[in-house]
Chain A
Amino acid sequence: MRVHTAPHVFWRTRRGQARLASLAVVIILLAGSVLVLIPFFWMISTSLKQASQVYLAPPIWFPNPPQWGNYVQAVTRVPFHLYAWNTTIIVGLVTIGTLLSCSLSAYGFARLSAPGKNTIFMLLLSTLMLPGAVTLVPTYLLFNALGWVGSFLPLIVPAYFGSAFFIFLMRQFYLTIPRELEEAATIDGASVYQIWWSIMMPLSYPVLATVVVFTFVGTYNDFFTPLIYLTDESKRTIAVALSYFQGSPRIGPQMHLLMAAVTISIVPPLILFVLAQRYFVRGIVMTGIKG
């Protein structure tokens, strides 16, 4: 008798309702996850097919045997190592520049006083809403006049002049650090520059990591800037090289190779995401809530 009625009553209890709600949430989230992951599945599936298997209806979901050789072809038919090297140089130098310039500026805004500081900070923040298009043409003309078009310089140099978003992020972080350490260091005779470098930089490791992951992903995925500045084929980044790999508009020739190249191209950000997930979350939370 008890065994018979128990399941009937269960969903009326508080705990039972909570369980049912959790179940519903899991089902919806699972369905959504499938939608999110299907494109990746289709990409990998296509990348492992033979050319003759790509355009089949009904499609082959799990190519057998998987054509791992497609990956080798995708990186050897084009000078992929060159694109990877170019990308590494640019991402590396941009990341270093962003870290240095933004942490310097952020320290100034957070800790030192100077006339006009707040006005400059507000001006800087308002540029967050500025569409990049409005500065595009003159910036291009400037780099062109300097003879930099075709080189990495237009992509790298601006990173050494701060970025409003990251300066804001770091300033907010510095404001949460107690001043005692700096005051003690001042009494010991340390200069502001020593304080910034030997006290603030090590303490701000979490926010530096956040800036690194966002800069890495942003620079790695950037398409527009390398598209307009890296006119020479040997200077292309992975992102731009991919777009030329595409071929005819109707049906990209050798879709299996194209998808193999795309798969390879998403590996670096993917690894970074797996390793440093909490820094992505932290950065987003900081901007959304404290902004």
Chain B
Amino acid sequence: MDTPHPQPQIAVRQSARRASRRRHIEAIHAYIFMAPAILGLLFFTLGPMVASFLLSFTDYNILTDPRWNGLANYDRLFNDELFWQSLRVSATYSIVSVPLGLVVALGLALLLNHKMRGILFFRSVYYLPTVISGVGVAMLWRWLFNGDYGIINILLRGVGVRGPNWLFDETWALVALIIASLWGVGGTMLIFLAGLQGIPQELYEAAEIDGAGRWRQFTSITLPMISHVTFFNLVLGVIGALQVFTEAYVITGGGPNNATLFLSVYLYRHAFQYLNFGYAAAVAWVLFLIVLALTLLVFKSSPLWVYYESERPGRN
């Protein structure tokens, strides 16, 4: 039995006050720790976003003060044939390269999930291009796709095919960039591989006992069990494909005749070559809204095709 405290309520109140003081101090420490992230968010993300939204309604070329011109940038944008061309290029590239990349990456991941000696070597080889992507590799692609002396056409000639003059052909230039993009599926592949390795083996054993064939096992176990990984790769793939710059700028420079004028290259030209900063901001906002709409679409559709472990019946 406790000895009766003379003023129990004051003690309670004091300890409550002390606890609230401690929480207060902890919050201050928390904000100090999070300060880089919070300031970065304000200075390098939210602030510039608002600023670019406002700029998109102005005429601004750095030399003179920004001049409000309402919707003129957007009006000009939607009437610019080159803008529509860049939208077509980016859309075509994304629609082809993203699903193709997912299929190739998943196929490789399935092969690399095979248990055998030397598999780690293959994993490194396929991941390698992702590490060294950059200007150097983009320039290497220019040389590989050279119409007369590039190794791609030399090899094609070896099997009796006359290859196109890739980078100087309006149809084939974009195809060349898509081929180059497939070379870099290593990252996507590794994410798929990790997903495959997370599938419980007993699911396959049970399916085998039930007499399910290889294909049936793939469609009924593998695909649903990695659908959240597919989802992740799809979202990142779309966002990445809509922002391709280095390859387009270095390999084709947007040509020939604007056949590879990606949105990002169009934006770059207006901002840093023509110094139309207001107009470039409008282009950026349109790009942002497209990415936002696509991301929302993928997210909204995900309950239809993404399967989460926690929803699995009978397993809690």
User: Are B246's CB and A228's CB within 8 A?
Assistant: no
**B132 and A270 within 8 A (CB):** yes
Stretch at the interface among A1-9, A30-38, A65-73, A202-210: A30-38
Using Cβ atoms and an 8 Å threshold, which residues of chain A touch B52? 134-138
Residues of B within 8 A of A251 (CB): 146, 149
B108 touches A32 (CB 8 A): yes
- Given A138-B281, A139-B48, A291-B232, check contact A284 B191 (CB 8 Å): yes
Contact A32 B229 (CB under 8 A): no
Cα A221 to Cα B187 in complex, Å, equals: 15
Given A113-B26, A252-B143: A59 and B33 interface contact (C-beta under 8 Å): no
User: Is A58 part of the contact surface with B, judged by Cβ < 8 Å?
Assistant: yes
Is A89's beta carbon under 8 Å from chain B?
no
User: Is B37 a contact partner of A138 (Cβ separation < 8 A)?
Assistant: no
**Is B139 within 8 A of A285, CB to CB?**
no
With an 8 Å Cβ cutoff, the count of chain B residues facing the other chain is 94
Using A131-B243, A285-B190, A288-B194 as known contacts, say yes or no to A141 and B34 having CB atoms under 8 A apart. no
| Contact between A138 and B271, CB atoms less than 8 A apart | no
* Number of residue pairs spanning A and B whose beta carbons lie under 8 angstroms apart: 278
Instruction: Answer yes or no: A184 CB below 8 A from chain B CBs.
Output: no
The answer to whether A36 touches B194 (Cβ under 8 A) is no
Q: How far is the CA of A192 from the CA of B108 in the complex (A)?
A: 46
Can you list, as one digit per residue, whether each of A211-246 has a CB less than 8 Å from chain B (1) or not (0)?
000000100111110001000000000011011001
> Which residues of B sit under 8 angstroms from A249, Cβ to Cβ?
253
Residues in B with CB closer than 8 Å to A136 are 48, 52, 267, 271, 280, 284
Let me know if B116 and A26 touch, CB within 8 A: yes
B116 to chain A, nearest CB (A): 5
Cβ contacts under 8 Å, B128 to chain A: 36, 270, 273
Given the known inter-chain contacts A36-B125, A284-B191, please indicate yes or no for A104 contacting B142, CB distance below 8 A: no
Chain A nearest CB: distance from B128 CB in Å? 7
Residues in A85-133 with C-beta less than 8 Å from chain B: 100-102, 104-105, 107-109, 112-115, 117, 120, 123-124, 127, 129-133
B207 at the interface (CB under 8 A from A): no
B23 to chain A, nearest CB (A): 7
Provided the pairs A39-B140, A120-B41, A288-B195 are in contact, do residues A239 and B134 lie with their beta carbons within 8 angstroms?
Answer: yes
B92 within 8 A of A: no
Q: Does A42 contact B (CB under 8 A)?
A: yes
B141 at the A interface (CB under 8 A): yes
The reply to whether the CB of A185 lies closer than 8 angstroms to some CB of chain B is no
How long is the Cα–Cα vector from A55 to B287 in the complex, in angstroms?
Answer: 42
Known: A130-B45, A223-B134, A258-B139. A120 touches B183 (CB 8 A): no
Contact A161 B37 (CB under 8 A): yes
Complex contacts, B55 vs chain A, CB 8 Å: 137-138, 141
**With a CB–CB cut-off of 8 A, which chain B residues contact A120?**
34, 37-38, 41
CB nearest to B255 among chain A residues: A249
Name the residue in A107, A162, A222, A228 with the highest tally of chain B Cβ atoms < 10 Å from its Cβ. Answer: A162
Centre residue among A137, A196, A277 by max chain B CB count within 10 A:
A137
Which residues of the partner chain A approach B264 to less than 8 Å between Cβ atoms? 133
Query: Given A228-B272, A252-B142, A284-B190: A105 and B33 within 8 A (CB)?
Result: yes
Q: Which residues 259-316 in B have Cβ within 8 Å of A in the complex?
A: 263-264, 267, 271-272, 277, 280-281, 283-285, 287-288, 291-292, 295
Return chain A residues, CB-CB under 8 Å to B232. Answer: 287-288, 291
The yes or no answer to B40 lying at the interface (CB within 8 A) is yes
C-alpha spacing A112/B27, complex, angstroms: 7
- Told that A54-B149, A130-B49 touch, could you supply 7 new A-B pairs with CB distance under 8 A? A22-B114, A36-B128, A43-B143, A135-B49, A138-B52, A138-B55, A266-B137
- 9 nearest CB pairs, A to B: A108-B33, A161-B40, A288-B191, A221-B134, A112-B30, A114-B30, A138-B51, A101-B36, A105-B37
Q: Enumerate 26 A-B pairs (CB-CB under 8 Å) in ascending A order.
A: A22-B116, A25-B114, A29-B111, A29-B122, A39-B151, A109-B37, A114-B27, A120-B41, A127-B45, A132-B243, A133-B263, A133-B288, A134-B52, A136-B48, A137-B52, A138-B47, A141-B277, A167-B37, A223-B250, A224-B246, A272-B131, A273-B132, A280-B131, A288-B190, A288-B233, A289-B198
